[in-house]
């Protein structure tokens, strides 16, 4: 069954050469420059980076949720492989069709569930709305499904919680509701943008376990956007490390974390605490670059211990370092 095998290998989502800019009064911020990523069904890709890395803008571009006045998608393609196997470029879709894709084929969970949920409607209605809009279900059907979804995301007593308002639920439960809304139409791809950052660690552990279980059960593709490399280890098969709008390294999570090739990845792994015995913490020198005026050449060079004149001369290209690994550093062979 050659055709099925090919379908298995084809990515659910492929981002190709994406450039997203913000035109501000003080100048142009190239938030995402030349980003290419792919995620297959049943696979989790973590996009990790600090403030200004472009990790969230990448997710918002895929969803086409950026305001048109300030944000401009300068170039690139976002190719989604639909349920029928046909590939469409989401950036080329008319808004009316994109509205159908959003929620049905690609869904998103944000960091702060309180500002994502509507405070004046019961949570059950907000889940049911998605089901009615995308699947044309009746009110009664949609409500029944909302209860079932609440149960699937681990909310106890779903028959009564379905009528609760967001403020009556804890932060962890609200995030479970957001996940229920996102999964209501069984999307092909879930984009989770820092979904546990606002939560306490014991609740974070529950939500991460929930997302992993749901993703396996449904064989969804998932893009998990985070600043936390340690969390990446828990959840992702593949990881893309971003810095100042660019992907600097990408590969299988276990390999990237065990043997980072880019000096930034290495420094990011080093600067988190390693226990008392490891002694002082090792910060990355300098500050994050000014997004209006990123450094010439390699954007990490001012903070990099391995920088040399050639690093300033030109933007390094993404190099194939192994079959499944890429790195944007001209000195990766020496650094690794």
Query: Which residues form the interface with another protein (CB under 8 A)?
Result: 50-51, 170-173, 200-206, 208-209, 227-231, 233-234, 267-268, 271-273, 275-276, 280-284, 287-288
Helix or strand holding residue 209 (H, E):
helix 201-218
Residue 48, number of CB atoms within 10 A of its CB: 25
Q: What is the spatial distance between Cα 293 and Cα 330, in angstroms, rounded to a whole number? A: 22
Q: Which is nearer to another protein, 144 or 259 (CB)?
A: 259
Shortest Cβ 132–another protein spacing (Å):
30
Cβ atoms 248, 327 nearer than 8 A:
yes
Shortest Cβ 268–another protein spacing (Å):
6
- Of 101, 90, 105, the residue nearest 41 (C-alpha): 105
Q: Which is nearer to another protein, 59 or 172 (CB)?
A: 172
Helix or strand holding residue 152 (H, E):
helix 139-152
Q: Which is nearer to another protein, 273 or 309 (CB)?
A: 273
Shortest Cβ 300–another protein spacing (Å):
11
Q: Which is nearer to another protein, 271 or 317 (CB)?
A: 271
Q: Which is nearer to another protein, 102 or 301 (CB)?
A: 301
Helix or strand holding residue 334 (H, E):
helix 332-335
Shortest Cβ 201–another protein spacing (Å):
4
Q: Which is nearer to another protein, 82 or 283 (CB)?
A: 283
Shortest Cβ 170–another protein spacing (Å):
5
As a whole number of Å, the end-to-end CA separation of the chain is 41
Shortest Cβ 228–another protein spacing (Å):
6
- Write the DSSP symbol of residue 277: G
User: Tokens 């300033």 identify what position?
Assistant: 312
Helix or strand holding residue 255 (H, E):
helix 253-258
Cβ atoms 241, 247 nearer than 8 A:
yes
Q: Which is nearer to another protein, 109 or 169 (CB)?
A: 169
Q: What is the spatial distance between Cα 164 and Cα 162, in angstroms, rounded to a whole number? A: 6
- Write the DSSP symbol of residue 168: G
Shortest Cβ 85–another protein spacing (Å):
36
Who contacts 291 (Cβ-Cβ below 8 Å, separation ≥6)? 29, 30, 31, 52, 244, 245
Shortest Cβ 209–another protein spacing (Å):
7
DSSP string, 91-114: GGS-HHHHHHHHHHTEEEE-S-HH
Q: Which is nearer to another protein, 209 or 308 (CB)?
A: 209
Q: What is the spatial distance between Cα 49 and Cα 80, in angstroms, rounded to a whole number? A: 24
């Amino acid at each position: 069954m050659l055709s099925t095998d090919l379908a298995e290998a084809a990515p659910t989502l492929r981002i190709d050469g994406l450039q997203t800019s913000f035109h501000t009064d003080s100048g142009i911020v190239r938030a995402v420059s030349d980003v290419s990523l792919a995620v297959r069904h049943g696979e989790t890709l973590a996009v990790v980076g600090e403030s200004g890395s472009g990790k969230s803008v990448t997710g918002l571009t895929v969803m086409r949720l950026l305001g048109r006045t300030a944000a401009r998608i300068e170039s690139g393609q976002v190719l989604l492989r639909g349920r029928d196997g046909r590939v469409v470029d989401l950036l080329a879709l008319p808004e009316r069709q994109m509205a159908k894709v959003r929620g049905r084929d690609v869904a998103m969970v944000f960091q702060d569930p309180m500002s994502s949920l509507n405070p004046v409607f019961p949570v059950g209605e907000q889940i049911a709305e998605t089901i009615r809009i995308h699947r044309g279900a009746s009110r009664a059907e949609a409500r029944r499904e909302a209860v079932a979804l609440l149960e699937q995301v681990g909310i106890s007593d779903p028959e009564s919680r379905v009528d609760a308002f967001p403020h009556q639920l804890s932060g962890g439960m609200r995030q479970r509701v957001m996940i229920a809304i996102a999964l209501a139409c069984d999307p092909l791809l879930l984009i989770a943008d820092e979904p546990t950052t606002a939560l306490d660690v014991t609740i974070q552990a529950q939500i991460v376990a929930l997302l992993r279980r749901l993703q396996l059960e449904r064989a969804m593709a998932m893009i998990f956007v985070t600043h936390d490399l340690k969390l990446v280890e828990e959840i992702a098969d593949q990881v893309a490390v971003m810095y100042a709008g660019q992907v600097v390294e990408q590969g299988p999570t276990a390999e990237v974390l065990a043997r980072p090739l880019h000096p930034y990845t290495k420094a990011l792994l080093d600067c988190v605490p390693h226990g008392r015995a490891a002694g002082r913490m090792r910060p990355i020198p300098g500050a994050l670059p000014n997004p209006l005026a990123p450094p010439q050449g390699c954007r990490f060079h001012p903070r990099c211990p391995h920088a040399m004149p050639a690093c300033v001369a030109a933007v390094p290209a993404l190099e194939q370092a192994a079959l499944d690994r890429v790195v944007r550093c001209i000195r990766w062979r020496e650094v690794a």
